[in-house]
Amino acid sequence: MSMPKIAYVRTDEAPRMPPPVTETGVVGWVRQNLFDSVGNAVMTVLGIAMLALILPPTINWLFIDAVWTGTSRDACVVEGAGACWAFVNAKFAQFMYGRYPIAERWRVDLTGVLLIIGLVPAAIPRVPFKRETVLYLLVVFPIAGFILLTGGHVELSGSFWIGLAILAALSLAVVTLICRNAGIAPASPLKVVAGFYLALAAVFVVVSYDFGLRPVETQLWGGLLVTLVVAIVGIVASFPLGILLALGRRSKLPAVKLVSVIFIEFWRGVPLITVLFMSSVMLPLFLPDGINFDKLLRALIGVALFASAYMAEVVRGGLQAIPKGQYEAADAMGLSYWQGIGLVIMPQALKLVIPGIVNTFIGLFKDTSLVLIIGLFDLLGIVSLNFSDANWASPNTPATGFVFAAFVFWIFCFGMSRYSIYMERRLHRGHAR
């Protein structure tokens, strides 16, 4: 049986036509994203006009007209010259290390390497040994960094050691007394207290040991080194205090809660600059005669107290996100308050607030630039200090220096904010439907 041949019916499929040019490729994309309505077309034209106004002069100034090489201002005061990168080139080492002695700068580099060794495995979620890495970052690295940067060999007088010994003996006696009175075995609390003092003594021994490193005063520190030291010490020191304050704010004990709330709200309510003023002007008044902190340490204390209030609020957010059942489960297991917090609640809460901690760190990192107002030379401080160098004074020098400093800050902050977004996505994956 064969089909009758009908001339006007096609037997084979017509070849497929490509979609209209206006719907695909560059043209289609432009139509859909830039000119899909009159309003959007107007906005696009306005946007292009804005870019045309800003971009060409900026690029010209930054790259095309810029002066890349030179040994003094003469290269940069040419008519029509753009950014004076020769200035940054000449001062680069100073921007990084400040006036840190050139022969000793390997110590700064080594500290940086030690930090990266700890930070990279801590930041990548897949790498195991998290507990060990964090321990390294919070205990080993600070001590090593302190010795490397300052030279160690802190002079601790005999009376200091005697004082420490008396304090240890007193603590042990008090603990024994309380245990006797309360009728519990004093062995394990005594072990904890003795271990604490032994660890403390070990740290002091290491710090006061003479490694043969040349001491470098903090007055000589500067540039990115100070920026990083202030930011990292601020965040690390604020961490334990912040956790305690967060627990205090959620405590059922009214006095503890009140003290925590007042402390947190006070530091959050005042600008960092007044805190820095306070630590640089008022702190020396509060200490007995003879005890004198150097400027950097005073700034660090102010920054750490300030940051701890913000950290406390971040941690509190994490604590509030832990369901009540977890607390009750910890109680039901017979764990004490601190055991429950340390083994059940905190590990979960801290994991939740990693993005918040990173964001606090970004804020602190930006705020470190304020130390220039109390006379420390962080990256921004040392860059502005160099504007007064007569050898490099030119109309474009300040702008170039600021653009360079802004670029360094931007790289750090932008990188960290991307990391925080990545962690946020990762943490939320469990809740995704």
Partner 1 sequence: MTPASSAEREQAGGGSGASWFYNPRVRGIVFQVLVVAFLLGMLAYFAYNAKINLERAGIASGLGFLSERSGFDVSQSLIQYSNDSSYFRAFLVGLYNTLLVAVIGIVIATVLGFVVGIARLSKNFLIRQIATWYVELLRNIPLLLQLLFWYKAVLSVLPSPRQSLEPISGVYLNNRGLILPEVIGQPGSSAILWALLAAIAAAIGISRWARKRQQATGQQFPSVFVGLGLIIGLPLFAFLVTGMPVELDYAELAGFNFRGGVVIIPEFMALLLGLALYTAAFIAEIVRAGILAVSHGQTEAAYSLGLRPRRTLQLVIIPQAMRVIIPPLTSQYLNLTKNSSLAVAIGYPDLVAVFAGTVLNQTGQAVEVIIITMLVYLTLSLLTSGFMNWYNSRMALVER
Can you give the binding site for partner 1, defined by CB under 8 A? 33-34, 36, 40, 43-44, 47-48, 50-51, 178, 180-185, 252-256, 259, 265-266, 268-274, 277-278, 281-282, 284-289, 362, 366-370, 372-373, 380, 384, 387, 395, 398-399, 402, 405-406, 409-410, 413-414, 417
Nearer to partner 1, 2 or 292 (CB): 292
Q: How many CA atoms lie within 13 A of 106 on its CB side?
A: 3
CB of 352 to partner 1, least distance (A): 18
Distance CA(398)–CA(404), nearest Å, equals: 10
CB of 216 to partner 1, least distance (A): 26
CB of 403 to partner 1, least distance (A): 8
Task: Give the C-alpha distances (Å, rounded to integers) separating 130 from 76, 120, 139, 344, 424.
Answer: 50, 11, 14, 17, 18
Beta-bridged to residue 389, according to DSSP, are none
- Encoded tokens for 53: 């106004």
Nearer to partner 1, 149 or 275 (CB): 275
CB of 158 to partner 1, least distance (A): 24
CB-count exposure of residue 18 (10 Å: 0-12, 13-18, 19+): exposed
Nearer to partner 1, 34 or 117 (CB): 34
CB of 333 to partner 1, least distance (A): 16
User: What is the b/e burial string over 86-99, where b = at least 16 CB atoms within 10 angstroms of the residue's CB?
Assistant: bbbebbeebbbbbe
Nearer to partner 1, 161 or 402 (CB): 402
Residue 273: other Cβ atoms inside 10 A: 14
Length of the chain: 433
DSSP 250: T
Nearer to partner 1, 94 or 279 (CB): 279
Nearer to partner 1, 148 or 224 (CB): 224
Nearer to partner 1, 92 or 106 (CB): 92
CB of 359 to partner 1, least distance (A): 11
Shortest CA distance to 369 belongs to which of 269, 299, 306? 299
CB of 11 to partner 1, least distance (A): 46
H helix intervals, 34-98: 38-59, 85-97
Distance CA(56)–CA(48), nearest Å, equals: 12
CB of 221 to partner 1, least distance (A): 19
Distance CA(314)–CA(119), nearest Å, equals: 21
CB of 411 to partner 1, least distance (A): 9
- Encoded tokens for 179: 């245990």
Nearer to partner 1, 203 or 259 (CB): 259
State the amino acid at position 390 in one-letter form: A
CB of 382 to partner 1, least distance (A): 13
Nearer to partner 1, 160 or 414 (CB): 414
Beta-bridged to residue 67, according to DSSP, are 84
Between vectors from CA 26 to CA 21 and to CA 32, what angle results, nearest 5°? 80
Using H for helix, E for strand and C for coil, what is the string for 230-245? HHHHHHHHHHHHHHHH
Chain centroid offset of residue 277 CA = 22
Nearer to partner 1, 236 or 273 (CB): 273
